């Protein structure tokens, strides 16, 4: 089932009879977070279909735990932790280099051809290690605070700061290397 059909089945009341009052909580969290989870998975995986599958799996996991929704203190954090773990498992299994150009061709209307710096930045992001790319995506694209990132990445806040510092250095180095090669 595609993510759109999954969403439509929620709208159509497919699970109402089985889920009772928990259906409303689930639907609220689904509609508030589905695009953010999909965007995160897409940027991590570089594959629209896989990102949709991960997003669906994350919300299926939440649906299976719908009786506990009110017990989970930070639903958004729980969803991103689940998405992160599923993405890392997918990357480990796939062992493929992510192409940021593919991500943005499928996900964005922006054209790197119109903005050479954007194209260079995309290539520089693609060359980052997974852990650095993940940190940059969580902070710069998803807007998470350091404490939220620490919870999602399951590390300390100081480790998040260090990770982001090193990720930004690597990103700058990659950018400069690509820009220099382009000018030669």
Whether domain 1-96 has CATH 1.10.1740.10: yes
111-184, which class in CATH?
mainly alpha
Using DSSP, state whether 109 is helix, strand or coil. coil
Tokens found for residue 166: 């090193």
List of residues 6+ apart from 168 with CB closer than 8 A: 136
Coil vs helix vs strand at 140: helix
Determine contact, residues 42/134, Cβ cutoff 8 Å: no
pLDDT in tens, 43-69: 888 889 999 999 999 999 998 888 888
Give, rounded to a whole angstrom, the gap between the first and last alpha carbons of the chain: 48
Domain boundaries, the chain: 1-96, 111-184
- Which carries the bigger pLDDT value, residue 173 or residue 9? 173
Give me the phi and psi of 114, to 5 degrees please: -75, -25
DSSP H or E stretch at residue 127: none
The 10s digit of each residue's pLDDT in 61-112 is: 998 888 888 888 899 999 999 999 999 888 887 654 444 444 455 445 444 5
**Cα 14 to Cα 25: distance, rounded to the nearest angstrom:** 15
- Judge residue 65's burial from the number of C-beta atoms within 10 Å of its C-beta, 0-12 exposed, 13-18 middle, 19 or more buried: middle
């Amino acid at each position: 089932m595609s993510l759109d059909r999954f969403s439509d089945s929620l709208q159509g009341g497919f699970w109402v009879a089985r889920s009772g009052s928990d259906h409303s909580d689930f639907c609220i969290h689904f509609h508030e977070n589905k695009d953010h989870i999909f965007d995160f998975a897409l940027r991590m995986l570089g594959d629209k279909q896989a990102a949709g599958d991960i997003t669906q799996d994350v919300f299926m996991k939440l649906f299976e735990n719908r009786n506990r929704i009110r017990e989970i203190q930070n639903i958004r954090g729980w969803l991103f932790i689940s998405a992160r773990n599923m993405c890392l498992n997918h990357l480990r299994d796939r062992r493929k280099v992510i192409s940021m150009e593919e991500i943005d061709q499928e996900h964005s209307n922006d054209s790197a051809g119109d903005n050479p710096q954007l194209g260079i930045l995309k290539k520089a992001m693609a060359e980052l290690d997974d852990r650095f790319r993940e940190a940059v995506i969580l902070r710069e694209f998803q807007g998470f605070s350091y404490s939220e990132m620490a919870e999602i990445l399951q590390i300390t806040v100081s480790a998040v700061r260090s990770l982001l510092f090193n990720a930004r250095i690597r990103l700058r180095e990659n950018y400069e290397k690509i820009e220099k090669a382009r000018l030669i």
